[in-house]
Amino acid sequence: MFVIGINADNSHYLIAYVVVERESYDIWNWLLEFLRIDLNLNHPFGITSMTDKQKGLVEAINELWRDSEHRFCVKHMYAYFKKKFNGDLIRNKVWQAAKAVTEEEWNDIMEKIKVINVKAW
């Protein structure tokens, strides 16, 4: 399991890693608690976690880092999404929505997805 950060130059850096037999809530809870103590994150406001819906991770984040933001990785979300809604047009719109920087832009792209396939919206 890896924990990475992104610095002001938009570069990734390794914060921590651990080799485990399996991923679970207890192991994620242990790792996040270790990071909270080691990095002095008593109030993790301003921290955003991005995950791929790993077993137990979302629950551990919600319990230990209540004040943090949580997002799911679009790459992993799209891997599930494309099983039902495949094609270049939908794929491009999903990635455009993921990269939108304003709510207005995101809503506009989502409306375009709705026109292409209402079930994908």
Predicted confidence (pLDDT) per residue in 59-70, tens digit: 888 888 777 776
Tokens for 82?
């494309």
Whether the Cβ atoms of residue 65 and residue 32 lie closer than 8 Å to each other: yes
pLDDT digits (tens, 9 = 90+) for 101-113: 788 998 999 999 8
CA distance 17 to 62: 20
Q: Identify the residue whose tokens are 């850096």.
A: 13
**Residue given tokens 């994150």 in the structure block:** 41
pLDDT at 80 over 80: no
Q: Check residue 111 and give its pLDDT.
A: 93
- For residue 53, what pLDDT is reported? 67
Please give the pLDDT value at position 5.
81
Structure tokens at 12: 């990734």
- pTM, full prediction: 0.57
Q: Tell whether the model's pLDDT for residue 98 goes beyond 80.
A: yes
Enumerate residues 6+ apart whose C-beta is below 8 A from 56.
Answer: 23, 24, 25, 26, 27, 28, 29
